[in-house]
Structure 1
Amino acid sequence: MKGSQRQPAVAAAIGLVALALLPVKASEIRQLRIESGPTGTRAELHLDTLGEYRLIPLSNPERLAVDFPDSHLARGLALPGAAGMVKAVRTGQPVPGTLRVVFDLAGKVKAIPTTLGGAASGAVLVLEWPGDGPAPVQAVASAPAPAAPSGSAAGTAPGAAPNDPIAAFAQHPLPASASPGPASAPTPALAAAATASAAAVVESVPTPADPPLPPPPRPALQAGMRPLVVAIDAGHGGQDPGARGPGGTREKDVTLAIARELARQVNATPGLKAYLTRDSDVFIPLEYRARRASANKADIFISIHADAAENHSARGSSVYILSTRGASSQRARWLADKENAADVIGGARVRVADNTLTSVLLDLTQSGNMKASEDAAQHVLGGLKRVGNNHKPDIERANFAVLRTSDKMPAMLVETAFISNPEEEKRLTDPAFQRTLARAILDGVDTYFSRQPPPGTLYAARAQAAQSAQAMDVPRSGIGGSR
């Protein structure tokens, strides 16, 4: 009996010792996934709590080790397979209590870490390895272009200017000119008779037009040309749903749908490549969105949103750019305050930086970029005007946090429609309307880059070809003219 009474006491003591050995604030990696796309490779490590971690780059062979003190893998968690830059994923324990996750890499590419979270749902460590990956623009560029309907410009390839000088040159070829041989000067009477006879022949027998010259070869994406990266930011996400429509539609869902459609159309346009700051329902702090775009070498940044107002009849689209010197209207100021509150809703640590020195420095870094943002926003606003009535006829300005870190590229915030309007709420969930919105935004982006093509891009090659075609077309003005 005494032995049997002692057994539960020993078991209880062992249990207490085991509990004492467990870390008090141990975090658990609940999910680990890797995905690859046109802009690189992305790994997400979902933890139950936000804790410390350490990145350890290793060479020969290339690896990235991530140490999590006082952490462990969830029971039964399967490690993902290879994807993109990641050849394999392994785990280990370099010292007791520390979990190490090792990513075997295919090459030497620096990872970009982003820690998201701090909310009740846990935290996410995102690792991104930027890279070009398979570029769909090359496949599209080699595909045959559809024939244009007669008398219209509907067949112009995506990315071409509406009045393409190359196409205009193909439609108006230079006429063939015959070299006159030596002849004696005709008398005035004979010349008049010959002129009348020629006029009669022209009126009675229509001469067939000269066969058109083949159009000059259209520049295509070639080796050495870099694609222009369009960063598309789907507003809100994760624990931040954004505005809600009368029917329950969440802003974060429609912005992601429109962003994905815009990315599809961008990737189908020769010379352009899309980068999505988020392609799933995750929360990303505002300051990281443009920084992610910059890390992926974006040439333009577009944040997609859906507007809301107490007046449920408000409708239309609006385009906003950053202003460090006050808002252009009370509505713009209110909207910026509402959008800037996303970090508070999402649980991110908000850094207050509104002192005078910070404002001056921000103004200096943004001043050279304001004009580019204004030009690009004007073209996008013009594209949206063809979709329907814009809520604001001109671009608006306010101090949007999501645009503050976009000092290296033109940036804008697009309010696509009013989700608070029952009619526009339905349209926002319609894939056909989403395609129309995306096309309108892309038209503006295409026009902007066509008029201000960065060097080393397909748009620059087109501009050069257009100038050459115009130079060839200049002598035509003197043909048939009097001397």
Structure 2
Amino acid sequence: MKRERSQSVPSVSQSLRSTRFSSIRNRLAAGACLSITALLLSSSASSVCAQEKIRISSARIWPSEEYTRLTLESASAIRYTLTTVKDPDRVVVDLEDVSLTPELKRLADRIDPADPHIHAVRFGHFKPDILRLVLDLKTEVEPQAFVIQPVGTYGHRLVLDIYPAIPPDPLMAFLNNKDKAGYMLRDEPHNGTHVSSRTEIETVRSNEAARKNRPEMIRLITVAIDPGHGGEDPGAISRRGTREKNITLAIARKLKEKIDREPNMRAALTRDGDYYISLSQRLVKARQLNADLFVSVHADAFNKPHARGSSVFALSERGATSAAAGWLARKENEADLVGGVNLDIPDPFLKRTLLDLSQTATINDSLKLGKAVLSKIGNINHLHKAEVEQAGFAVLKSPDIPSILVETAFISNPDEERKLRDHGYQDKLASAILAGIKHYFADNPPLSRSRMVSLD
């Protein structure tokens, strides 16, 4: 019995060793747990950091002669720093906490070789938390960058506009147009040789004998045609996916071709491609051209497909002539929110709160023009309203140019959308608008503000 008891009871030294081994095992186990926990926490933190990186969901580029726009869209606002570098000319944009997604990488392949401003796009990690975007340039530029809050179907957008350091002169482009080779637009003669003070183009020879041998000067009527929307702003979209911006540009181009074939008329487009021009800049271009008329082309939309017909609108001094006109004006005025406008740039037109007397007279002329155009459009399409309507359209606020907005048809109506997509119908619309313009001038001869002269 004693022997059995001695075998079952450990000695003091054995107990101490066992206790020490147990303590070591516990400390090792605790340390392992802490290490595993630390690794898990580190992995989790790394995952969280990765999730905090901003992902670019869409990268778009809109090249044109006037400027090139690059847009980066994301779910949250992008913080950035913009700088320019010389020798060679580059624009550098540092993007904070933005990951280099496949969508961004594909942007390099979207640079059009014909882009007049950007040669190439490159990306690289300048710092761990800074993604650097570099634009290699073809010419000296004046870049602008700004952010746009979510609107419509868009999320947060960082917009980078690349303007040439020497912007193209609309009047010079107008004069260089070869559609009417041998003719030019100039101001009313002053001492026989004065040309537009903006361009100082000395093209009228002062030799009296040579001047007498030239054909008699005739009045050149200048029409500014404004295709609505463009670029980031698609305008109304039909159920089939037809975009208003494409319809308006197609009709505007046809109208320009027809006007340019008239012996005493010439037209210029506010945009001649798929890019956005702000509402105020459309007016600025019309005034730079000394335009006699401003015609903005649109294709209406409504939330019900049965709405149909063409309409013509002019600016209002006091308010909309109908609830529908007011609604449409508010919708069209929101184009700058969708298209993207740098709010830091002063706007000489849209911030106008009072209409002067000259604009009152201009509105009266706009109503006459609108009535003439509406009567001609009524020959090829149902009229939504039989009279010219008025509302506070921002794009019609030129103080000295009669201006109308033509809603050619409802793109939201399946039957009218089919017509708007048809090239033959687009041609008929352009012919009707031109017929209305000619009818207006037959009753309201233009003032002697500009002339067309033959050049040797």
CA–CA separation in structure 2 for the residues paired with 1:57 and 1:379 = 51
What letter corresponds to residue 392 of structure 1 in structure 2?
K
Q: Of the two, which has the highest radius of gyration? A: 2
Q: Closer, same or farther in 2 for the Cα pair 1:380/1:404, shift >3 Å?
A: closer
**2:68 aligned with 1:73:** no
Aligned length: 363
Alignment counterpart, residue 232 of structure 1, candidates 201, 224, 227: 227
Q: Closer, same or farther in 2 for the Cα pair 1:435/1:132, shift >3 Å?
A: farther
Once the two structures are superposed, residues 32-60 of structure 1 have per-residue CA deviations (whole angstroms, 9 ceiling, x without a partner) of 43523xx4232322322343444434556
Q: Quote how far apart the aligned CAs of 1:318 are.
A: 1.4
Q: Quote how far apart the aligned CAs of 1:429 are.
A: 3.3
**2:133 aligned with 1:101:** yes
CA–CA separation in structure 2 for the residues paired with 1:443 and 1:258 = 18
Identity between Structure 1 and Structure 2 (%)? 24
Instruction: Give the equivalent residue in structure 2 for 1:262.
Output: 252
CA–CA separation in structure 1 for the residues paired with 2:384 and 2:272 = 26
Once the two structures are superposed, residues 368-427 of structure 1 have per-residue CA deviations (whole angstroms, 9 ceiling, x without a partner) of 653564455345435424534544343211123x43765686543222124566643442
Instruction: Give the equivalent residue in structure 2 for 1:412.
Output: 404
CA contact (8 A) 2:67 2:117 kept: yes
CA–CA separation in structure 2 for the residues paired with 1:379 and 1:440 = 10
Alignment counterpart, residue 54 of structure 2, candidates 15, 26, 39: 26
Instruction: Give the equivalent residue in structure 2 for 1:319.
Output: 312
**2:161 aligned with 1:127:** yes
Q: Closer, same or farther in 2 for the Cα pair 1:414/1:81, shift >3 Å?
A: closer
**2:425 aligned with 1:433:** yes
CA–CA separation in structure 2 for the residues paired with 1:117 and 1:69 = 18
CA contact (8 A) 1:29 1:72 kept: no
Matched residue SS, 2:363: helix
CA contact (8 A) 2:373 2:432 kept: yes
CA–CA separation in structure 2 for the residues paired with 1:454 and 1:105 = 44
CA–CA separation in structure 2 for the residues paired with 1:232 and 1:302 = 6
Q: Quote how far apart the aligned CAs of 1:18 are.
A: 3.1
Matched residue SS, 2:451: helix
CA–CA separation in structure 1 for the residues paired with 2:446 and 2:373 = 14
**2:121 aligned with 1:89:** yes
CA–CA separation in structure 2 for the residues paired with 1:218 and 1:9 = 93
**2:355 aligned with 1:363:** yes
Instruction: Give the equivalent residue in structure 2 for 1:138.
Output: 177
Instruction: Give the equivalent residue in structure 2 for 1:476.
Output: none
Q: Closer, same or farther in 2 for the Cα pair 1:336/1:41, shift >3 Å?
A: closer
Cα RMSD for the two superposed structures? 5.2
Instruction: Give the equivalent residue in structure 1 for 2:268.
Output: 273
Instruction: Give the equivalent residue in structure 2 for 1:197.
Output: none
Once the two structures are superposed, residues 293-312 of structure 1 have per-residue CA deviations (whole angstroms, 9 ceiling, x without a partner) of 24656753514022559794
Matched residue SS, 2:99: strand
Q: Closer, same or farther in 2 for the Cα pair 1:73/1:45, shift >3 Å?
A: farther
Matched residue SS, 1:26: coil
Matched residue SS, 2:63: strand
Q: Quote how far apart the aligned CAs of 1:89 are.
A: 2.7
CA contact (8 A) 1:322 1:399 kept: yes
CA–CA separation in structure 2 for the residues paired with 1:316 and 1:17 = 60
Structure 2: give runs of 5+ residues left out of the alignment. 1-27, 183-213, 261-265, 344-349
CA–CA separation in structure 1 for the residues paired with 2:417 and 2:336 = 24
CA–CA separation in structure 2 for the residues paired with 1:443 and 1:117 = 43
Instruction: Give the equivalent residue in structure 1 for 2:299.
Output: 305
Mapping 1:174-213, distance limit 5 Å? none
Structure 1: give runs of 5+ residues left out of the alignment. 144-215, 352-357, 466-483
Instruction: Give the equivalent residue in structure 2 for 1:202.
Output: none
CA–CA separation in structure 2 for the residues paired with 1:374 and 1:126 = 39
CA–CA separation in structure 2 for the residues paired with 1:406 and 1:54 = 36
Once the two structures are superposed, residues 124-162 of structure 1 have per-residue CA deviations (whole angstroms, 9 ceiling, x without a partner) of 42525364699697343359xxxxxxxxxxxxxxxxxxx
Matched residue SS, 1:361: coil
What letter corresponds to residue 15 of structure 1 in structure 2?
S
Q: Closer, same or farther in 2 for the Cα pair 1:275/1:403, shift >3 Å?
A: closer
Q: Quote how far apart the aligned CAs of 1:320 are.
A: 0.7
Q: Quote how far apart the aligned CAs of 1:325 are.
A: 0.7
- Per the normalisation by structure 2, the TM-score is 0.59
